[in-house]
Amino acid sequence: MRKRVLITVVLVLLAFAVIPLAVSAQDFEDYPYDPTADAFAIIYNIVGLIISIAIAIYMYKDAEKRGKSGILWGIIGFCCTCVGLVIWLIIRPPIQQAPPPGYYPPPGQQPYYPPPQQPGYPPQQPPPQQPPGY
């Protein structure tokens, strides 16, 4: 369901992004026709569209990873591009870590997540002891 909504939103936004391309390609009688200006306008619009899509994808994935609405932030990222990205980078919450399986905090206490241990620590067996007298 979310993918269908996201695809629909992207297609609608792409349709609005193509309208300036069609307008810039028209030949107005008052101005001399300059094909290089049209080519630069098309390239400029395509590059801007690619940048907007890349920012929207990044913001969508990052918001989903942090437990926020990815679709909302993806739309904001596409429409506001750099301004939306700066706002997201300022207000984004920290990444939520899941508690270990089977862990329930005592009532009234915040859960404590110990830092991850390095492999091989703590040791599984105690180190061998030297016999007395050596």
User: Where are the domains positioned within the chain?
Assistant: 2-25+33-91
Contact, 82 vs 13, CB < 8 A?
no
What is the per-residue pLDDT for 62? 92
What is the per-residue pLDDT for 122? 57
Q: Say how far apart CA 76 and CA 84 lie, in whole Å.
A: 6
Instruction: Kindly report whether the global pTM for this prediction surpasses the value 0.75.
Output: no
What is the per-residue pLDDT for 58? 94
- In this structure, how many other beta carbons lie within 10 angstroms of the beta carbon of residue 16? 9
What is the per-residue pLDDT for 40? 86
Q: Say how far apart CA 117 and CA 124 lie, in whole Å.
A: 13
What is the per-residue pLDDT for 78? 92
Contact, 75 vs 5, CB < 8 A?
no
What is the per-residue pLDDT for 19? 63
Q: Which residues of the chain have pLDDT under 50?
A: none
Contact, 70 vs 63, CB < 8 A?
yes
Cβ within 8 Å of residue 118, ≥6 positions away: none
